[in-house]
Structure 1
């Protein structure tokens, strides 16, 4: 396996995560595990798209998972987002976490602001909100299942791809 093939696998994994999270508002375990497995293979072969060692990869995975599990415990983030962040930490290592988190959080914040603006849009708010997934109940009643409105894993995946293109060039 070549470095180009491993980089392609990494970018395809990010694409699958983003598409799945945007469409389903969840990240399946099999997809997270596949990415984590590929990251471990890349580390073992020394062919990761981001050059770092095992210590940086494990620290990145632990910090990403540990930081986001706090938000999961508060009920504002899904478990798939947390697990994906841990697997992503294996790929990018500790040093790239901050730029990826910043870009991903900025994108997720823009999503939330746009959702709030369109929700109040007087011309067919249901149509304008269609790309943003299901709407929460407006009468204050709890929904039978928790609905995630912001696909955070998708935005982290996009941020990681952006960092691969622009962040590595400046490093």
Structure 2
């Protein structure tokens, strides 16, 4: 099941980097797989039901960041599903690591926007361009692929952070 989780994390990271969104079907697939692992007793990270549910609830607490416009809804839902996999005790350092990566992303993007020495890198960091359709109001463009950073940090935790 650890391979299934890692595959899911890679899919989320790639999708979020390319589209700057995480689709509901992808979040649901990860959450259902995590629940199946818990039910079957095949949870690869030693997370029990209590820790998994607390991790999911903690992930959904990020809704405060969505309410203030700092995160997308997909990022919050992904954090909740990720909490089912890793539990509360691992979700907190994963969240901190992802926040540091997202901060570095935004600082680099702002610097490149201000001093355009590498315009292609600035465009890549900004994500895909969205052209508004006539008569349809544009949504706020998300620069930071936060779910991707959560997924990458979780994958790094899976590989290196759990080794004691």
Q: Name the CA distance, whole Å, in 2 between partners of 1:135 and 1:117.
A: 19
| SS of 1:76 mapped into structure 2 | coil
Q: Name the CA distance, whole Å, in 1 between partners of 2:153 and 2:115.
A: 29
Shift in CA distance, 123/95, structure 1 to aligned 2, threshold 3 Å: closer
RMSD over aligned CA atoms reads 1.6
Q: Name the CA distance, whole Å, in 2 between partners of 1:91 and 1:129.
A: 34
Q: Name the CA distance, whole Å, in 2 between partners of 1:90 and 1:16.
A: 17
Deviation at 1:130, TM superposition (A): 2.2
What does the per-residue CA deviation read over 1:52-92, in whole Å, with 9 as the maximum and x for residues that have no partner?
A: 110110010001111x1000011111000000000000000
- The answer on 1:47 being equivalent to 2:47 is no
Gaps of 5+ in 2: 131-136
Contact 1:134-1:147 at 8 Å conserved across structures: no
Q: Name the CA distance, whole Å, in 1 between partners of 2:115 and 2:156.
A: 31
**Aligned with residue 93 of structure 1, among 70, 75, 87:** 87
Contact 1:56-1:93 at 8 Å conserved across structures: yes
Gaps of 5+ in 1: 1-5, 137-142
| TM-score after normalising by structure 1 | 0.87
| TM-score after normalising by structure 2 | 0.91
What does the per-residue CA deviation read over 1:24-61, in whole Å, with 9 as the maximum and x for residues that have no partner?
A: 00000000000000000011111122101101100100
| SS of 1:31 mapped into structure 2 | helix
Q: Name the CA distance, whole Å, in 1 between partners of 2:129 and 2:64.
A: 25
Q: Name the CA distance, whole Å, in 2 between partners of 1:84 and 1:16.
A: 12
The total of aligned residue pairs comes to 157
- The answer on 1:105 being equivalent to 2:99 is yes
